[in-house]
Amino acid sequence: MTIRLTWKRLVLGLAALALLGMGFAWSGLFPIAASSGHWAITDWFLHWTMQNSARTYSTFQTPQAVRDDGAPVSAAGHFHQSCAVCHGAPGTPPSPVMQAATPPAPDLAKTVGHYSDRELFWIVRHGVKYTGMPAWPAGERPDEVRRMVGFLRCLPDMSAEDYRALTAAPPGPLARCTGCHGSDGRGRGQADIPIIAGQKEPFLLSALRDFASGKREGAVMQVAAAGMTETEMRAAARYFANLPGLRAGSPARSHSIADRGLPDKQLPACLSCHAPGKTAPLLSGQRPEYLAARLRLWRGEETVVDARKPRDPMAVIARRIPETEIDGLAEALSH
């Protein structure tokens, strides 16, 4: 007996399969228990699909620079607070609870070598569906993702002592802060961590509140601030503000943009806000490399059109500063 295949029969057959699938899902018989694990072939297929997806999307969804090896402390601190519970760390096994997930988080010291820097950047930035791997909580901070890629590259050869040296914080109520900023508030010599010793107390308190609420983006600081109470925030702001460090004097008037701005570009002088008696944060004594990096971060990626970039005041101001002037301006403001 020959069955003639027609479009009508094909559509009806597909509809019947769809109904059977929906009926099976409705029945509740599909096993979703994490305790059941995956079949070996299912595990292979999902992992293979993930690797292929990361390779494909990372070719056109990553910026030109995807790795920064020069500032591991903040990345290590974030990894210690947010990632080690699932993945483990040198000298520290992962939580048995998290390893009971399906699939369990891998030992990154063994698996990072399977991915290129660009693929690692994409995975850290965007996360992986259905695995519990979250996206980076601060979408506008590619600099943080670059530093995390640099840290991950170090994991295969990192000893437990090296890891503890990066993540150890003096015990006490300010441990969430001093792990990166140091007990002296000078950022442990890291270019990406600002000097906060001597900074204005109201500014420090406002920054902590903004990070905790998500108003200000920065995954490392958002995680740290979110776990602090209002009392702890006030104590931290008071402690660091009273340390010797940044200076309240006016930054040196050794750069035309700092002193006069660029009227033809509607760029105000930096000292119109960052001067004694103003509410803007202190800059005298700050690391020039940190100031330059912040200005470039506010400028955003050159491949993104201006209309799609943030409109907050400092972002707009930074985009009006010529790229060739940023390093000199940062140096002048730090004096």
Q: How far apart are CA 161 and CA 168, in angstroms?
A: 10
Q: What's the token pair of residue 62? A: 């990553």
Using pLDDT thresholds of 50, 70 and 90, give the confidence band for residue 310. confident
Is 17 exposed, middle or buried, given 0-12, 13-18 or 19+ CB atoms closer than 10 A? Answer: exposed
Query: 70-105 pLDDT, tens per residue?
Result: 999 999 999 999 999 999 999 999 999 999 999 999
Residue with tokens 């990626």, as numbered in its chain: 301
Q: Give the span between the Cα atoms of 55 and 243, in whole angstroms.
A: 48
Distance CA 107, CA 241 (A): 40
Q: How far is CA 10 from CA 258, 295, 322, in A?
A: 72, 60, 63
pLDDT at 170 over 90: no
pTM over 0.75: yes
Of the ranges 146-160, 221-235, 239-253, 267-281, which one carries the lowest mean pLDDT score? 239-253
Region 53-64: mean pLDDT is: 95
Read off the tokens for 131. Answer: 């695995």
